[in-house]
Amino acid sequence: MKIAVVGATGLVGQMMLKVLEERAFPVSVLIPVASSHSVGKKVTFRGIEYPIVSMADGIAANPDIALFSAGGSVSKEWAPEFAKTGCTVIDNSSAWRMEEGVPLVVPEVNAHVLTENDKIIANPNCSTIQLVVALNPIHQKFGIKRIIVSTYQAVSGTGMKAVQQFYEEARGASDVAMVYPHQIYANCIPHCDVFLDNDYTREEMKLVYETRKIMGVADMPVTATAVRVPVIAGHSEAVNIELDSETQASEIKQILADAPGIKLYDDPAANQYPMPALADGRDVVWVGRIRKDESRERCWNLFVVADNLRKGAATNAVQIAEVLVERGILKAEKEGFLAESGQ
* pLDDT attached to residue 342: 37
* pLDDT attached to residue 341: 38
pLDDT tens by residue, the chain, 343 residues: 999 999 999 999 999 999 999 999 999 999 999 999 999 999 999 999 999 999 999 999 999 999 999 999 999 999 999 999 999 999 999 999 999 999 999 999 999 999 999 999 999 999 999 999 999 999 999 999 999 999 999 999 999 999 999 999 999 999 999 999 999 999 999 999 999 999 999 999 999 999 999 999 999 999 999 999 999 999 999 999 999 999 999 999 999 999 999 999 999 999 999 999 999 999 999 999 999 999 999 999 999 999 999 999 999 999 999 999 999 988 654 334 333 433 3
Strand partners for 151? 226, 237
* pLDDT attached to residue 213: 98
Does 235 participate in catalysis according to the annotation? Answer: yes
* Secondary structure class of 86 (helix, strand, coil): coil
Amino acid 153 reads: Q
pTM recorded for the entire structure: 0.94
* pLDDT attached to residue 335: 39
Architecture label for domain 2-95+311-340: 3-Layer(aba) Sandwich (3.40)
**Which residue out of 87, 139, 192, 235 is catalytically annotated?**
235
Where are the domains positioned within the chain?
A: 2-95+311-340, 127-308
* Secondary structure class of 303 (helix, strand, coil): strand
* pLDDT attached to residue 329: 87
Length of the chain: 343
Does 112 participate in catalysis according to the annotation? Answer: no
**Which residue out of 126, 139, 192, 299 is catalytically annotated?**
126
Strands (E), the chain: 2-6, 29-33, 42-45, 48-51, 65-68, 88-91, 120-122, 144-153, 222-228, 235-243, 262-264, 285-292, 299-306
CA distance 195 to 50: 40
CA distance 317 to 124: 9
* pLDDT attached to residue 217: 98
- Spelled out in words, what is the top-level CATH class assigned to the domain 127-308? alpha beta
* pLDDT attached to residue 173: 96
